[in-house]
Structure 1
């Protein structure tokens, strides 16, 4: 059949890539090992470095299959959120679901949005493509004319995606329109624009009768139809070359769904890279750092500025971050001058000399970012602002300034998400990003911030304790969370109490589970802390119409993860029997010590010196591993019971029943 012949030809020419390519690099091997161990911080680090999350090792294991097989639920969640591919209709996807260690992981895999795993940037590209037809709010600042039709477009997108307009707009930022030659059909212009805006490739110009050859070689086969199609193809090729597109629309790819999908993903990655370069060189490089009381003196022309921006976002720095040495200076790209104010003269903002002897009185600074409404409306907050009758939605000669109540680093992370989808969120800013995302109605960014907290703030710890009441032992990976004085309450990069309150305020169940698990694994450090007692009391008060004896959600979760920590949820450990046997052995040992047992009265069997001693030593060695294991389980059981008793004592002091 023709379609099968086309697919076979594509496979033979290696145009169709393997969805899970073999990766034998050292970095991927280390990533696979971290997935096997369930090391969340290390896995997050490799993902941030750009490791191939859908690769496979020499044993045909992908990171997601290993995490599912080994039962690391949080890691499976992290990999899915990061774009791990697990489509149910593929071999690797079915294998991942079938090999899941427990139903909890299997349910997560089955319920996950697999359109997002097959294309992690699907929401970003969907927004870009929607800009072509969106009229409310109005975000266009450039018009492309051809014949009797005109297309409202966006300068920043053309400047980042096409080398031709990048040069034209750099020479003349105020350029408002451009006319295409009349020889290029309107259909060809529409196809190229859909390609630039990452819209679906048209298939109505391709028919099975054309086989694997574009229509431009079949002119005249149909009465007028083939000639028209050939003209459209030639127009697409001409316009793509003029704009300097690396990879234009391909009619051959439209005939095969898999190849068309692969080409779209390639173009999506190329667009992300181009927009990332634009974001760095035009937005971050042109940000203005100025005294807060001088911010109104910074004026940017609406239709003529180096970033092609149509609004300024302002973020004030916290009071404790100022340095009097650089207060009042304006930071921007090399060679960039603060834009012309209303009077037509360049404004130069100098440091205040009156505060040199009083660093504590240094004026507050703010950072101004030139941005684009077309990308800000990914947030429902900005979409409503620019759609209504608000002042910010009205056109003005100079860019309007909008103040966002976050710090500049947090605003940069929010803008990074809006423009290029995947910000690397440091743990120290994760909570602020979480609140900012909630304020701006960015649910996906809220999920990414919660993911960063639960992954980076989740150091692995040992579960076996040397003695009852001994402090929690930390692995080398968790030493960054511990101060030299071994005081984790002061050295943690993020306050677990703030995490709990954020989870309650913003209703993020994932953070509630993380906080409960974290507290359970560090309960020795928190059980006597008055702030922890206040947290338990607050959790109890969250239940409406609380009865005299009722559950405390946070405490129930802590008990659950505490059982997980000491492995007491599995019935085959038989720790109760082990403790009873240990008590009986202690009693027998006491009798032997008084000289009443037979073992002290009898001589060793075969007691000819060294042979008997050797046999006794051999027998002792064979029993030693079991003894060590039993001692470890017994120690864990005692430690677990002590923590439970402390919880009960705490509840009595708080006069709570749960």
Structure 2
């Protein structure tokens, strides 16, 4: 990560003021106080560290409370970044552990790589064609070409799994050669862009050498998810398959999906979801992402049946609508799913049942977009029920910021009484969880007399409500 420091425009601005150059002073002034601009800078990598002199001065001089609050709370590691990293780390573990792998590559220099035909075939037309051609039905493949470097081959396999890879400088040319052989144009382009960026930086700094190149791009990450989503769609019942145009949202031709080799079937509401146990890594993905599915597939619950005629394992799915199971399947493969106000609660319940915490968090993030005075209490209770601390935090903050409209809300008063009842042999001096959390939000970030007075009025509203429902303050 590079940190670039630019000279402050302060002296220039002071000179403008002394000379009466109002146009230039207005130019600098127009950049102040725009929340969208602040958010754009933060999302683009700008830092505002309150522990530094400049950061503290920036927060102190913020034009509005909204900007000041954003500067304090903004984290470079956003929920979207966390979700992306979790997904790629899951795929990296899948490769490193060789979980349920169905193909092993032996490179001439004693490198062994265990992988899954499903991922390689879905991600690369070259690998897909090889698995349908000369590598058909082969579980072990030996690469004896002396021009194929084992470590370079492992790196391109890692990129196919995660859409990002760290390459030693001495291996760059070997990786490029394999990119041409395996027709991985996107990886080759990303690699060339990364090398050019590194070289330009080195040219600006004397005494530096390139040891490694980090290859990654948001476009390649989107293609990774799209490729695996297409693989998931191949196993959906015809009734639930999306239109062909929506299977891919980029312009490249879809890699050839391997020949249907369905040996595991989930049945929900009479519809069959075909899975690809070894050849398409269905078991590997489901087992690796969910302990529940691992136990279900290995028949710890004794619910699976085996059809010897079709060589298939059949597992019934109970009490889950087929459309919801389709969303579960999409999430497991691609970390994305279609959430709507109609299905989000059912998907959330299924994610809780199937032990998919990442999907639960995504449901919580989706619900947080619809907070209002009428539903905030029910959403807070939902957050508590399903263990969604971020959603609970957002609901509590919303109540605190809108306490004037909440103190007469019957659902909110019932929530206060419920929290109070959870304390056994409650004394008058005992606190109430929801009230304590609201008071915390009201008492933080008070950096002006007006803010202190506003918080005091809101705290008085809470105290008055508590007295009305029978609690001493």
The TM-score, its normalising length taken from structure 2, stands at: 0.62
How big is the shift at 1:398? 0.9
Judged with a 3 Å threshold, the aligned counterparts in structure 2 of structure 1 residues 173 and 416 are, in CA distance, closer, same or farther, namely farther
Q: Which residue of 2 is the match for residue 279 of structure 1? A: 229
* 8 Å CA contact retained: 1:284, 1:369: no
Q: Which residue of 2 is the match for residue 162 of structure 1? A: 124
Structure 1 Cα separation of the partners of residues 467 and 349 of structure 2: 34
Of the candidates 194, 215, 234, which is equivalent to residue 158 of structure 2? 194
Q: Do residues 445 (structure 1) and 355 (structure 2) align? A: no
Q: Do residues 368 (structure 1) and 273 (structure 2) align? A: yes
Q: Which residue of 2 is the match for residue 648 of structure 1? A: 467
* 8 Å CA contact retained: 1:307, 1:370: no
For residues 150-299 of structure 1, what are the structure 2 equivalents within 5 Å?
151-169=113-131, 175-177=137-139, 179=141, 182-184=144-146, 185=148, 187=150, 188-198=152-162, 200-203=165-168, 205=170, 233=174, 239-248=178-187, 253=195, 256=198, 264-266=215-217, 269-280=219-230, 282-284=231-233, 286-288=235-237
Q: Which residue of 1 is the match for residue 426 of structure 2? A: 546
Q: Which residue of 1 is the match for residue 371 of structure 2? A: 458
Q: Do residues 505 (structure 1) and 456 (structure 2) align? A: no
Judged with a 3 Å threshold, the aligned counterparts in structure 2 of structure 1 residues 94 and 415 are, in CA distance, closer, same or farther, namely farther
How big is the shift at 1:640? 9.1
Structure 2 Cα separation of the partners of residues 142 and 132 of structure 1: 11
Judged with a 3 Å threshold, the aligned counterparts in structure 2 of structure 1 residues 265 and 202 are, in CA distance, closer, same or farther, namely closer
How big is the shift at 1:276? 1.0
Structure 2 gap ranges (5+): 5-29, 202-209, 240-256, 277-281
* 8 Å CA contact retained: 2:289, 2:356: yes
TM-superposition CA deviations, 1:176-222 (whole Å, max 9, x none): 4474553244525334333433474442846xxxxxx95xxxxxxxx
Structure 2 Cα separation of the partners of residues 574 and 194 of structure 1: 54
SS of aligned partner of 2:168: coil
* 8 Å CA contact retained: 2:103, 2:138: yes
Structure 1 gap ranges (5+): 1-15, 20-57, 70-75, 207-212, 215-232, 291-303, 317-364, 460-487, 490-494, 576-632
How big is the shift at 1:438? 3.9
Judged with a 3 Å threshold, the aligned counterparts in structure 2 of structure 1 residues 539 and 573 are, in CA distance, closer, same or farther, namely closer
* 8 Å CA contact retained: 1:156, 1:307: no
For residues 374-413 of structure 1, what are the structure 2 equivalents within 5 Å?
374-382=284-292, 384-385=294-295, 390=300, 397-401=311-315, 403=317, 406-413=320-327
Judged with a 3 Å threshold, the aligned counterparts in structure 2 of structure 1 residues 284 and 560 are, in CA distance, closer, same or farther, namely same
SS of aligned partner of 2:96: coil
Q: Do residues 66 (structure 1) and 43 (structure 2) align? A: no
For residues 23-38 of structure 1, what are the structure 2 equivalents within 5 Å?
none
SS of aligned partner of 1:503: helix
Structure 2 Cα separation of the partners of residues 448 and 95 of structure 1: 35
SS of aligned partner of 2:145: coil
The TM-score, its normalising length taken from structure 1, stands at: 0.47
* 8 Å CA contact retained: 1:86, 1:114: no
Judged with a 3 Å threshold, the aligned counterparts in structure 2 of structure 1 residues 182 and 507 are, in CA distance, closer, same or farther, namely closer
Judged with a 3 Å threshold, the aligned counterparts in structure 2 of structure 1 residues 407 and 503 are, in CA distance, closer, same or farther, namely same
Q: Which residue of 1 is the match for residue 84 of structure 2? A: 121
Judged with a 3 Å threshold, the aligned counterparts in structure 2 of structure 1 residues 458 and 533 are, in CA distance, closer, same or farther, namely closer
SS of aligned partner of 1:192: helix
Judged with a 3 Å threshold, the aligned counterparts in structure 2 of structure 1 residues 533 and 129 are, in CA distance, closer, same or farther, namely closer
Q: Which residue of 2 is the match for residue 134 of structure 1? A: 97
Structure 2 Cα separation of the partners of residues 440 and 97 of structure 1: 45
Judged with a 3 Å threshold, the aligned counterparts in structure 2 of structure 1 residues 150 and 458 are, in CA distance, closer, same or farther, namely same
SS of aligned partner of 1:152: strand
Q: Which residue of 1 is the match for residue 449 of structure 2? A: 571
Judged with a 3 Å threshold, the aligned counterparts in structure 2 of structure 1 residues 125 and 572 are, in CA distance, closer, same or farther, namely closer
TM-superposition CA deviations, 1:516-563 (whole Å, max 9, x none): 344456667765565444322211122345223422222344566689
TM-superposition CA deviations, 1:552-589 (whole Å, max 9, x none): 2223445666899xx999534797xxxxxxxxxxxxxx
* 8 Å CA contact retained: 2:232, 2:329: no
Aligned residues: 398
How big is the shift at 1:128? 2.2
* 8 Å CA contact retained: 2:121, 2:131: yes
Structure 1 Cα separation of the partners of residues 211 and 324 of structure 2: 37
Q: Which residue of 2 is the match for residue 426 of structure 1? A: 340
Structure 1 Cα separation of the partners of residues 452 and 53 of structure 2: 36
For residues 555-594 of structure 1, what are the structure 2 equivalents within 5 Å?
555-558=435-438, 571-572=449-450
SS of aligned partner of 2:378: helix
* 8 Å CA contact retained: 1:289, 1:368: no
TM-superposition CA deviations, 1:129-150 (whole Å, max 9, x none): 3333314xx4212344555876
Q: CA RMSD in A?
A: 5.4
Q: Which residue of 2 is the match for residue 99 of structure 1? A: 58
